[in-house]
Amino acid sequence: MDRDKQLVKRIGIFDSGAGGLTVLKKLRASIPGVTYYYLGDTARLPYGTKSSETIVRYSKQNASFLLSRRIDILIVACNTASAYAIPALREFAEDIPVTGVIYPGARRAATTSQNGRIGIIGTTATISSGKYQNKLKELDPDLKVFTTPAPLLVPLVEEGLISGEIPEKVILMYLKPLLEKNIDTLILGCTHYPLLKQTIQKMVPELKLVDSAEPIKDILLQEYRFPGGNGKTEIFVTDYPEGFGSLSQRFLEGNFDKIEHIDLQNLWRIPDDKKIKKTR
% of the chain beyond a pLDDT of 90: 74
User: What contacts 270, CB < 8 A, 6 or more positions away?
Assistant: 60, 61, 64, 276
Told to judge if 218 belongs to the known catalytic residues of this protein, a careful annotator would answer no
Assigned domain for 152 exists = yes
Q: Render pLDDT for 13-56 as a digit per residue (tens, 0 to 9).
A: 999 988 899 999 999 999 999 999 999 998 888 888 889 999 99
Give me the mean pLDDT over the 180-201 stretch. Answer: 95
What DSSP element (H or E) covers 201? helix 197-203
**Lowest-confidence segment of 119-133, 215-229, 234-248 by average pLDDT:** 234-248
Rg (Cα) of the chain, in Å, rounded? 18
In the predicted model, is pLDDT for residue 124 greater than 80? Answer: yes
Query: Is 275 domain-assigned?
Result: no
Give the domain CATH number at 72. 3.40.50.1860
263 compared with 59, residue with greater pLDDT: 59
Q: Which of 163, 189, 211 is the last residue of a domain?
A: 211
Structural domain includes residue 278: no
Whether 163 contacts 152, CB under 8 Å: no
Same domain, 163 and 31: no
CA distance 236 to 244: 11
Q: Are 216 and 75 in contact (CB under 8 A)?
A: yes
Q: pLDDT class for 241, splitting at 50, 70, 90?
A: low
CB 47 within 8 A of CB 125: yes
97 and 221 within one domain: yes
Whether residues 97 and 221 share a domain: the answer is yes
77: in domain: yes
- Catalytic position from the list 11, 13, 156, 190: 190
pLDDT exceeds 80 at position 256: no
pLDDT at 280 over 70: no
**Residues 191, 222: one domain?**
no
Label residue 68 by pLDDT band (50, 70, 90): very high
DSSP state of 59: H
Residue pair 12/61 in contact (Cβ under 8 Å)? The answer is: no
Q: Are residues 76 and 116 in the same domain?
A: no
Residues 106, 207 within the same domain: yes
280 belongs to a structural domain: no
Cα–Cα distance measured from residue 137 to residue 134, given in angstroms and rounded to the nearest whole number = 5
Residue 115 has pLDDT above 70, yes or no: yes
Answer whether residue 55 is part of any domain: yes
Q: Catalytic annotation on 76?
A: no
Question: Once rounded to an integer, what is the mean pLDDT over residues 170-199?
Answer: 96
pLDDT for position 274: 47
Which entry of 27, 43, 78, 213 is annotated as an active-site residue?
Answer: 78
Work out the average pLDDT over 140-156.
Answer: 95
Q: Which domain holds residue 175?
A: 102-211
Establish if 107 belongs to a structural domain: yes
Total domains in the chain come to 2
State what percent of residues in the chain have pLDDT above 70.
92
DSSP per-residue string spanning 136-183? HHHH-TT-EEEEEE-TTHHHHHHTT--SSHHHHHHHHHHHHHHHTTT-
Provide the residue type at 112 as one letter: T
- Which pLDDT does position 279 carry in this prediction? 37
pLDDT digits (tens, 9 = 90+) for 82-95: 999 999 999 999 88
Q: How confident is the model at residue 98 (pLDDT cuts 50, 70, 90)?
A: very high
The mean-pLDDT minimum among 16-20, 212-216, 249-253 falls in: 249-253
For residue 279, the tally of other CB atoms under 10 A from its CB is 7
